[in-house]
Structure 1
Amino acid sequence: MMSPRSQLFGRDALLNDLEREIKKGHHVLLTGPIGVGKSALLVAVLQRIEPRESEWYQFDPVASDAEDEPIEPAPLPETPGRHDQVMIYLSEHQGKAQFVQIARRLLETGILKPSTLELAKKYDDLPPSAIEWKKIRRNVNRLSMRDLTQAIIPAIYEWEGRILIGVDDLTSLTPTQQAFWLAILEHAQVIGCASSRKSGLSKLWWKMKHVAVPPLDCRAATDLVRDYIARHGVLIESPGLYIGHVVKQANGNPQAIMDMLESSAREKRLDKRQIREMRHAAGLTYVDFTPVMFIAGAAIIGTRYLAIGLGDTALYVMAGMGAALFLSLRVFMFKGSRGKTGG
């Protein structure tokens, strides 16, 4: 598992820029491929903006909304004052589960009245710390996203403080869920991550400032590998070859780098043969040959019609042979792959 230190290697400037954008009040969307470090940046910047450690329990997987109860109960957050900032971190990836997490957090902080979630009136008279989530979770989970939104929006609208929502993954958001998130954006500041900006969600993306998280540059990737080797005492026959190979194969992806480092750390000693055999999918890029297929197909069809018009039998036969070759190779041409040579 990647440590926070490893995930943020070479990200100081980007982290500072992200903090400035959030402090300006912008909604922010972090974009980039899987494993590039979006979630790590999100957590790091939220911890900068929210200095109270009592709020950080939200980043602990043990405190998640899993069906199984945690071995040790997560610490309860402090009940905020009416003008305080409230931070909500959403670790769930599905839209409905994210809104359940919002409702849970608002209940914990006393911003949301339990009865607005169709819970028994008796809960309204209890302090937030006395409401056990495990006893009400099933009832809250039964509510639709519309019902959850209708409870959440008035609560955050009436809150006089700032509500900051960090979303670990907006990639799976659907066009039908867009309206619910647009309502949230009107009354709370949202910072989210997405591997790609899905079509059909343009109204949502327009409201968010896009911050691309690029792969690590060669120097930062090299420093990360060197740091890991020194901290874990990995025995390597040729350190220079090893570092260069890992950096090249990972293609600047921090998760890919750590995958390779952790895999090789299991070996007692890495020799040159083992180093050269190390591979990672991040070191490959896929070239889409679809446009080539369309052009080649159109050229072959056009040539056959031209041959018919001119009465040129030789040209017609050549076009037929080209069509046969085209059909036999089409399976292999739609997606071809080659290794990247950059570091």
Structure 2
Amino acid sequence: MLKGSSVIVKGRAGIGKRTLLGKVREELATQRVCLAPSMSTVKQMAADLAEQVHEAIGLQVPERLIPPRFRAMAERTGAVPFRHIKRNLSREPVADQLALVMQSLKKRDDVILFVEALEVPPTQADFLAQIAEHCQLCAAMDSDNRRVRIQRLLWKFQATVEIKPLVSPVVREWVELWLERHPLAFESNRIRKAFIRGVARDSNGVPAAVQGILDFALTEHAVTRSTLREMEHDAAIYYLDMTPILVIVSVGFMALRYISRGMGMKEMMVMAGVGTSMFYLLLYFGRMMQKRR
């Protein structure tokens, strides 16, 4: 029985969560019904789920969604190709499409729904929580995802698998094996050893970062000291969440204004006003830089 035994795979970005889910799906494809809809939008998720469920186990389609010219064939064979109902089904509200999906899943206990990332809006999270009542979920989520809006969905997961970064010896062995298949020109043997140490250090054990650095090295005619200084990958960079600090600073300046007004200290009031203005100015430029990225 798969219902009620959902699994969540956690880890930092680039650690290999999606790759792991893909391998698991490949292994179970011959034993279970594996669904993997696109999570780009709620509408796309509903459309993909409807099609995949119909192809795998058969969607319980109301007669009104079957075009009149195909109803006789559907009654005779007990089935209707998805292409014949796709247009009418796409016109249905998303909630109704997902209701048909869940109705079709009720009598099954061998269905697994794979979700590559739980970076989803509240509406999508609510639909996934409902679907989890009728099948097993197997999803990936970044370890730094603290979105309150998906807390209701997280309660549906009974097991957690956390992927840790690779340790330095494993990364070095990976690089050694990679260099055997992709011989690079090094300035010296000392640079070669430094390159292996640098990949292990600069990647922070993140597979995506290791592969990114190795791919970068392939573009170089020869690995030199300057190449070693340029080795980096976004997946290996840790980002500090400054939101709590910004909130504290903002509240501090606001409180300072009221305190200075109550105590009649004009200098402190001016300083608080200037500080507040500078804070909002920095916040504005920070948002502009984020949009440009």
TM-score by length of 1: 0.65
Pick aligned residue for 2:5 from 22, 26, 29? 26
Deviation per CA, 1:120-163: give whole Å up to 9, x if none: 333464587x83x555544433332211122112211123x411
Q: Is the 8 A contact 1:35 1:256 kept in 2?
A: yes
Q: How does 1:106-255 map to 2 (within 5 A)?
A: 106-115=53-62, 118-120=65-67, 121=71, 122-123=73-74, 125-126=76-77, 131=81, 133=82, 136-159=85-108, 161-172=109-120, 174-195=121-142, 196=145, 198-209=147-158, 210-237=160-187, 238-255=191-208
Superposition deviation, residue 244 in structure 1: 2.8
Partners of 1:299 and 1:44 in 2: CA distance: 54
Cα pair distance change 1:285/1:153, threshold 3 Å: closer
Q: Is the 8 A contact 1:114 1:124 kept in 2?
A: no
Partners of 1:96 and 1:234 in 2: CA distance: 47
Partners of 1:334 and 1:33 in 2: CA distance: 28
Count of equivalent residues: 273
Counterpart residue type for residue 196 of structure 2 = I
> Identity of aligned pairs, percent?
22
Partners of 1:292 and 1:179 in 2: CA distance: 32
Q: Is the 8 A contact 1:293 1:334 kept in 2?
A: no
Q: Is the 8 A contact 1:165 1:189 kept in 2?
A: yes
Cα pair distance change 1:250/1:125, threshold 3 Å: farther
Give the alignment's Cα RMSD to 1 decimal: 3.6
Q: How does 1:80-99 map to 2 (within 5 A)?
A: 85-99=32-46
The corresponding residue for 1:3 is none
Deviation per CA, 1:39-92: give whole Å up to 9, x if none: 111122233344x3xxxxxxxxxxxxxxxxxxxxxxxxxxxxxxx742222344
Cα pair distance change 1:251/1:302, threshold 3 Å: farther
Partners of 1:183 and 1:116 in 2: CA distance: 25
Partners of 2:252 and 2:152 in 1: CA distance: 38
Superposition deviation, residue 201 in structure 1: 2.6
TM-score by length of 2: 0.74
Cα pair distance change 1:221/1:135, threshold 3 Å: farther
Superposition deviation, residue 254 in structure 1: 1.7
Partners of 1:222 and 1:335 in 2: CA distance: 41
Relative contact order, higher structure (CA 8 A, sep 6+): 2
Counterpart residue type for residue 137 of structure 2 = V
Partners of 1:190 and 1:263 in 2: CA distance: 36
Superposition deviation, residue 104 in structure 1: 1.3
SS at match of 1:215: coil
Superposition deviation, residue 317 in structure 1: 4.7
Pick aligned residue for 2:253 from 297, 315, 328? 297
Partners of 2:38 and 2:274 in 1: CA distance: 52
SS at match of 1:87: strand
Pick aligned residue for 1:285 from 231, 235, 238? 238
Counterpart residue type for residue 162 of structure 1 = D
Cα pair distance change 1:291/1:113, threshold 3 Å: closer
Listed as ranges, the gaps of 5+ residues in structure 2 are 287-293
Partners of 2:85 and 2:202 in 1: CA distance: 48
2:10 equivalent to 1:36? no
Q: Is the 8 A contact 1:93 1:168 kept in 2?
A: no
Partners of 1:35 and 1:117 in 2: CA distance: 46
SS at match of 1:177: helix
SS at match of 1:244: helix
Q: Is the 8 A contact 1:100 1:141 kept in 2?
A: yes
